[in-house]
Structure 1
């Protein structure tokens, strides 16, 4: 693999040509004269040509130096313009932020908080990708993603915004026809509506207040990769489902669905804001991350419900 260009040496060479002096270039850049001399020598060695004639009193360009001086100045100017643009972006954030979020949560909660952010920062645009699939943040070029669940270990950086409780629920019509399960093991005899993107959709795990743990293999008439898609079937009395509290707050505000097995709990999960590894990011991304952390932490707390005992 070829070596990368020595951009620092090219920039120093351009500054020497501009100021016609190693000493003046060193003072302008803020380094020692020896550092400037070594950079030019390093560049000459890499190119295999002499760029400058040096004497104790005079400094002049060689023919090769004259040919390359203009290009070196272009590189220096481009670097300075790039840094100026970055500083300007930091003080006046602008540009595109790519954000991924789960479908149901994104529609109900992320979409509703974005208008205020976009009004505050009119030069920032957001590309919002909604999917319950686990997107590849780095490979997909995303600046951040919201994820609900127990996160696996990875190189990604995660900020926990708040807990998300899940409840086993069914409609009153379903319970009148099929009866109410008294223990998780009873679910094997019930119609279960399954969310396909659970870490292990083939098994529901419950923990009792005494620490007892039960695994159940659910089966039923519907398996979907989005919780919204199960709500109509659930309310129609065709099955039992495990639903996150924010879904119940959004779709069942009158508490028509009956919580079941309230002495048992599903594994704890939480809402996380996940970003690629590394600490440096554009100001526009940092602004959106901080805004989402503030607004969604509050929404996460507001949407939590206390599951009452079934009547």
Structure 2
């Protein structure tokens, strides 16, 4: 049995967090995976996994080996992808991290459209609102919606992104239209706790700097979709991603306010680790997303589904 096969088995077990889960995922027996990992440990002369009937953990050597082995396997797969690409046969699996907001919104249809157009590439999508460690957790790439900070990752901008402060017509009739950000301190607001600002909402100040206002209200929720529904129901003002707010604004269910105080500069990005060779399957996916967003701008994406 070759070392690469044992190495893949070890990586599968680590990423599935157990032998049974890995066996179910890849369609091999638990006993066979256990045999491969034991042979790998014997070959290395080091214990990689701590095993008990109820617990599973990596040893220090296991952590080190997993990081390096993952890089080696990705390079091997990338080489195979390049050969397939040269023959017009791109296939494989892409392990993708994306925010729930992206998948739940109309722009999430980009993932479905890609899967339909490239049936030989499997999208393994993990929806999580946290920023995963791509290298440590074995992801090929991630979609991130934010102002991108300095990073060791490579980023490709897919689309611009901004937020809208909105409220229902009924709420605005009751409280009036805020004339400046400070007015929000005196009206009910819905806080999306997934947002980086929490209850301290930022706006462009009178002199072009950034100013914040502390808000409160009847609901705090870790979902922009739930915040949108609460705003439509008239519970309060809320800040929403433009691609989530657009359909309700167009239909008159929400009214945007203080648009002249919006902060700009955010975006939707495809990010992936620095590698000497970007796998062909990832390059094909990123190129597809770039073209998809050109045809379906964020505020118009609802028309594509």
TM-score, with length taken from structure 1: 0.65
Q: Deviations over 1:144-165 (max 9, x none)?
A: 1111111121101111122112
Q: Deviations over 1:225-284 (max 9, x none)?
A: 220011121011111011121112244431321111233123531111111112412211
Question: Quick check: 1:89 aligned with 2:84?
Answer: yes
Match of 2:286 in 1: 289
SS in 1 for 2:235: coil
Cα contact 2:243–2:298 (8 A) shared by 1: no
Match of 1:169 among 166, 171, 174: 166
1:287: how far off?
Answer: 0.8
Cα contact 1:100–1:142 (8 A) shared by 2: yes
Deviates more, 1:132-141 or 1:209-218: 209-218
1:190: how far off?
Answer: 1.2
Alignment of 1:109-188 (within 5 A): 109-188=106-185
Matched residue count = 224
Match of 1:269 in 2: 266
Match of 1:40 in 2: none
- Structure 1, unmatched stretches of 5+, are 1-80, 305-311
Q: Deviations over 1:51-89 (max 9, x none)?
A: xxxxxxxxxxxxxxxxxxxxxxxxxxxxxx999955543
Q: Deviations over 1:119-147 (max 9, x none)?
A: 33322111112222222222221111111
Match of 1:194 among 172, 191, 196: 191
Cα contact 1:205–1:267 (8 A) shared by 2: no
State how far apart, in whole Å, the 1-side matches of 2:114 and 2:269 are: 19
Match of 2:98 among 83, 97, 101: 101
1:204: how far off?
Answer: 1.0
- Structure 2, unmatched stretches of 5+, are 1-75
1:302: how far off?
Answer: 4.9
Question: Quick check: 1:232 aligned with 2:220?
Answer: no
Which one has the largest radius of gyration? 1
State how far apart, in whole Å, the 2-side matches of 1:84 and 1:192 are: 52
